[in-house]
Amino acid sequence: MADLGRAALVVSLGLLVYALVGGSIAAVANRRRLAVSARNALFCAFGSTAIAATVLAVALVRHDFSFAYVAAHTNRTLSTPYALSAFWGGQEGSLLLWLLVLTGYGAFAVALNRTLLRDLTVWVVPVLAGIGTFFAFVLVAVASPFDTQTAPLDGAGLTPSLQNPYMVAHPPMLYLGYVGLAIPFAFAAGAMLSGRTDERWIVATRRWTLAAWMFLGFGQLLGAHWAYVEVGWGGYYAWDPVENAALMPWLAATAFLHSVMIQERKGMLKVWNMVLVALAFELSVFGTFLTRSGVVNSIHSFAKSPIGSWFLAFVVISSLFSLALILWRLPLLKARTKLESALSREAAFLYNNLLLVALCLTILWGVLFPILTQLVKGETRTIGRPYYDFFLRAFGLPLLLLMGIGPLIAWRKTSFRTLAKTLAWPGAVTIACGIALVAFGAGSSHPGLIAYTFSAFVLSTIVLELVRGTRATGSLVALVSRNRRRYGGYVVHAAIVLLAIGIAGSSAYSSSTTRKLSPGQSVTLSGYTLTLQDVVRRQVPNATETRAILGVKGRWNGTISSGDNQYVNPPEPSREVAVKTNWLRAEDLYVIADSVNLKAKTVYVKVLVKPLVNLIWVAGFVFVLGSLIALWPDAREQRRLVTRLAPARA
Amino acid sequence: MSTRSPARLIVALGVAAVLAVFLLYTAVAGHSTPTLTPSQLANHSGQLAIVGVVVAPLRGDSHSAAGLRFGLKNIDGKSGVVPVVYHGENPPPLFKVGRNVVVSGSYAHHRLAADNVVTKCPSKYTATKPS
């Protein structure tokens, strides 16, 4: 079995090298049959990588511990879904998933566009094959998932915290996002290499970018929710370098998704879009480098890995390649039109882009700071949470405001008077909300108050747009189906508002206290009184559970239990928090019981009340809904595109 | 009247504004913390973080006045042991002897008075291979 996996990977590597070299020669020399052959090699590389992936999946399900990877990440007690999730639980499996998704996405994207964009796809094939060659090489030569050994009786197992449905879905979602960004990058590079730098590459990859962006965004929220319920520290995002590694390409892709609309409509920002698409892709590879190299001390990554230097080399070479391409094609990337006014929708998109990229680069600076200080000063210095929180407010709050203003400003130019008239109703709603919030005590946190009022402003502009549009078309469904991209975008904006409210509420207005309790003693916080009833220990299959049982009275009445589990196989502990969601008040009661002393019957109880935190998770579903609306095939749009691309085809 | 696009001006002003905010932050409020290994601690004191591996003995309770006491040495093992006294919430569940951690606090007289312990995130944890 392992031999089949190894052989399949070697075949993938060979096919990808052929697609890279043959495809490049075919594109330069305009050899059509060779180009078709290179394209078929890319398709076949997906097939052989799928065989390798199937071999690993079967080994995981069958608990075949002669595979070193299977023995290191699973054991016999694991159920099939969790055994399968070990596919992406380790380095080698994750890299195989990268290659599988890349070749699958690549084959599909090239197959879809091979007729309409033939002049571009002859270059897209070698670019995608080049990226694939790197991953196939690492899998064959540096980090193979098919190393074998004398099979032990049982494997090491999957750490208990990872045996969670969120952790089954979170990594593949991130990979679908990371790898998905390779498609617009390859088409952008193909456009520059072929000299066809019009808007066709953007049109061809819009849905790919949107899908990758959706997966990356939703994957991060899944990870945040997992951290919230499973890791048990009361938070959901720690600004850790590896967490930031997923956020940075998402921010760059967000900027790209907005700025391509300007290029499609006005023929502007061509260079900027090339830079953004390259930045998003490079950051996605850089994220994998950060996660796997151990170059930065992170709660996710301590050990140095042999693949780190390979990834660094790939990031450097592909960045130089992108930069060289952009510089080479600068004359072809001139704008068709000019920005006519600083007060126009185009300008609002530009401000939005600047803020998104500024936030992205600020986070990148924070991630790189330890490496740079080590290089310059010989001493590693790290930047903590206050730095990131400051810049999230400095750039995030104006972004939130722009999200409301942007859709209401006219294209080309507008006057202050017209803008003021347009914003009158949303402005009035915002002021009323601000006054109400201060009256209800939200003034205790200025950033929180600003985030809430800006959110009210954005929501009122979205409602205004929907009401106006529905009046014009007669039905909301008809309105959305006529322009799925625009109204899907509004739904995504609503999701971002929910996210902002959730983050502001759970960080600016949360409260917490820690108390040592004996049976009968109580702790009170924000209208909840928790009384320790008992401390118990019980055996369950594969674990010993220790729990503090607490009675709760006040805003919610009932009983909750929190403590820890000590697992037998693998012999690891896990913290078990109690989370009670009060939907009426839209807040969570979050209880962490630690240092449980069974003899003395004492426990340290940390109680947190987190207002509106659940809006963050609701935002995830609204975000996916909006993205799917924008992604959904649209026959009208398709007809427009065919008409638009027809002259280029001819 | 000039027909020059204001796009460049907007980008330039935007970049300048971002730089101004950034410089202001780093000048006024920016704090970075040295993150060192036990072997790099010579001539250092004050607030810092130490990256290392937990060494025995592991005694006490982080909630008590005496605190949780343990040692740290380089992950590669090539250093002396730095004594740590940690006060605060219980350390994360995966904290134990042999685990890689980042401990931050105040370092003085060759001892770290710690107020924060971070262990390796379980999402990348790989158990020891069974023999």
**Measured distance CA(A530)–CA(A517) in Å, rounded:** 10
Alpha-carbon gap, residue A250 to A223, rounded angstroms: 14
Answer yes or no: do B42 and B25 share one domain: no
pLDDT on residue A650: 39
Cβ contact A351–B10 (<8 Å) = yes
Q: Which residues of A touch B52 (CB under 8 A)?
A: none
Is B6 contained in some domain? yes
Closest CA to A214 of A500, A524, A610, A619: A619
Angle formed at CA A151 by CA A145 and CA A155, multiple of 5 degrees: 75
The answer to whether A636 and A617 have CB atoms below 8 angstroms apart is no
Number of domains in chain B: 2
- One domain, residues B120 and B79: yes
CB contact at 8 A, B53 and B72: yes
Q: Are residues B14 and B52 in the same domain?
A: no
User: CB neighbours of A93 closer than 8 A, spacing ≥ 6?
Assistant: A56, A69, A73, A86, A87, A145
Average pLDDT over residues A463-476: 89
Contact B130 A161 (CB under 8 A): no
Average pLDDT over residues A14-27: 96
| Beta carbons within 8 Å of A465's beta carbon, 6+ residues apart | A407, A408, A490
With b meaning 16 or more CB within 10 Å and e meaning fewer, what string describes A611-636? Answer: bbbbbbbbbbebbbebbebbbeebee
A592 neighbourhood in chain B, CB within 8 Å: 89
Domain for residue B111, yes or no? yes
Assigned token pair, A268: 């502007």
Over residues B63-83, the pLDDT tens digits come to 889 999 999 999 888 888 999
Which residues in chain B are contacts of A301 at CB distance < 8 A?
Answer: 124
Residue B130 within any structural domain of the chain: no
Do B80 and B93 lie in a common domain? yes
Interchain pair B123, A391: CB under 8 A:
no
Question: In terms of domains, do B10 and B63 share one?
Answer: no
Write out pLDDT tens, residues A44-84.
Answer: 999 999 999 999 999 999 999 999 999 998 988 888 999 99
B12 CB within 8 Å of a chain A CB = no
Full 3-state SS string of A421-448? HHCHHHHHHHHHHHHHHHHCCHHHCHHH
Structural element, H or E, at residue A340: none
User: Which one of B18, B33, B75 has the shortest CB-CB distance to A382?
Assistant: B33
Tell me if A90 and B126 make a contact (CB, 8 A cut-off): yes
The alpha carbon of residue A595 and the mean position of all alpha carbons in its chain are separated, in whole angstroms, by 35
Q: What is the pLDDT of residue A77?
A: 86
Q: What is the mean pLDDT of residues A16-34?
A: 95
Interchain pair A383, B6: CB under 8 A? no
Note whether B8 and B23 are same-domain residues.
yes
Question: What is the Cα–Cα distance from B126 to B18, expressed in whole angstroms?
Answer: 41
The first and second tokens of residue A459, run together, are 């929501």
* Range with lowest mean pLDDT among A172-176, A370-374, A461-465, A555-559: A370-374
Average pLDDT over residues A351-366: 90
CB A593 within 8 Å of CB B90: no
> Which tokens hold the place of B122?
């379980």
A353 has pLDDT over 70: yes
* Mean pLDDT on B87-100: 85
In a domain, B51, yes or no: yes
- CB–CB contact B63 A383 (8 Å): no
B52 with B74, same domain?
yes
> What phi, psi does A603 have (nearest 5°)?
-155, 145
Q: How many beta-carbon pairs under 8 angstroms link A with B?
A: 154
Least Cα separation, residue A546 to chain B (angstroms) = 13
Mean pLDDT of chain A: 90
Are β-strands A602-611 and A511-517 bridged in parallel, bridged antiparallel, or unpaired?
A: antiparallel
Contacts with A, B 24-53, CB within 8 Å: 25, 29-36, 40, 49, 51
pLDDT in tens, B19-34: 766 666 665 555 688 8
Q: How far is A629 from chain B (nearest CA, A)?
A: 32
Average pLDDT over every residue of A443-461: 92
Per-residue pLDDT at A628: 95
Q: Inspect the interface and report whether the beta carbons of A379 and B34 lie closer than 8 Å.
A: yes
- Can you list the alpha helix ranges (DSSP code H) found in A474-513? 476-482, 484-508
Residues B17, B45 share a domain: no
Give the closest-approach CA distance of A110 to chain B in angstroms: 34
Same domain, B80 and B67: yes
Residue of B107, B124, B129, B131 to mutate for A, most A C-beta atoms under 10 A: B124
Choose the weakest-confidence range: A105-109, A381-385, B22-26: B22-26
Whether the pLDDT of residue A515 is over 90: the answer is yes
Q: What is the CATH number of the domain that holds B65?
A: 2.40.50.140
Q: Cα(A47)–Cα(A49) distance, rounded to whole angstroms?
A: 5
**ipTM score over 0.90, yes or no:** no
Pick among B13, B54, B74, B126 to test the A interface (most A CBs inside 10 A): B126
Q: What is the pLDDT of residue B128?
A: 42
Count CB-CB contacts under 10 A for residue B34: 21
Please, what's the b/e burial string for A130-163 (b: 16 or more CB within 10 A of its CB; e: otherwise)?
Answer: bbbbbbbbbbbeebbbbebeeeeebbbbbbbbbb
**Phi, psi angle pair for A633, to nearest 5°:** -55, 140
CA distance from start to end of chain B: 81
Interface test with B, best of A382, A391, A414, A546 (most B CBs within 10 A): A382
Give residue-wise pLDDT tens across range A607-647.
999 999 999 999 999 999 999 999 988 777 767 766 665 55
Answer whether B6 sits within 8 Å of A341, measured CB to CB: yes
Q: State how far residue A353 is from chain B, nearest Cα, in angstroms.
A: 10
CA distances to A420, A488, A637 from A466, in Å: 19, 11, 20
For A170, nearest residue in chain B (alpha carbons) = B123
In this predicted structure, what is the pLDDT of residue A230?
87
Whether B129 has a pLDDT exceeding 50, the answer reads no
Residue B5's pLDDT band (cuts 50, 70, 90)? low
Name the pairing type of β-strands B82-86 and B111-119.
Answer: parallel
Report if residue B59 sits inside a domain.
yes
- Which residues from chain A sit within 8 angstroms of residue B120, using beta carbons? 299-300, 302
3-state secondary structure of B89: coil
- Any long-range contacts for A430-436 (C-beta under 8 Å, 24+ apart)? A430/A454, A430/A456, A430/A457, A430/A460
Tokens 């699958």: give the residue.
A104
CB contact under 8 A, A347 and B10: yes
- Could you tell me what percent of chain A has a pLDDT over 70? 96
* B11, part of any domain: yes
Domain, as residue range, for B16 = 1-30
Residue B118 Cα, gap to closest chain A Cα (Å): 7
Strands A511-517 and A522-525: unpaired
CB nearest A167 (choices: B61, B123, B130) = B123
DSSP state of A67: B
Residues of A in contact with B62 (CB under 8 A): 595
| Residue B131 falls inside a structural domain | no
CA of A649, closest CA in chain B: separation in Å?
32
Q: Would you call B122 and A231 a contact, using CB atoms and an 8 Å cutoff?
A: yes
Residues B107 and B71 in one domain: yes
Q: Is B129 a domain residue?
A: no
Q: Does B85 touch chain A (CB under 8 A)?
A: no
pLDDT in the model for residue A548: 94
B3-7, B86-90, B114-118: lowest mean pLDDT where?
B3-7
Same domain, residue pair B53 and B106 = yes
Contact list, B75 vs chain A (CB under 8 Å): 302-303
**pLDDT of B124 over the 90 cut:** no
Domain match, B17 and B60 both:
no
Q: Cβ A514–B89 below 8 Å, yes or no?
A: yes
pLDDT in tens, A586-615: 899 999 998 888 888 999 999 999 999 999
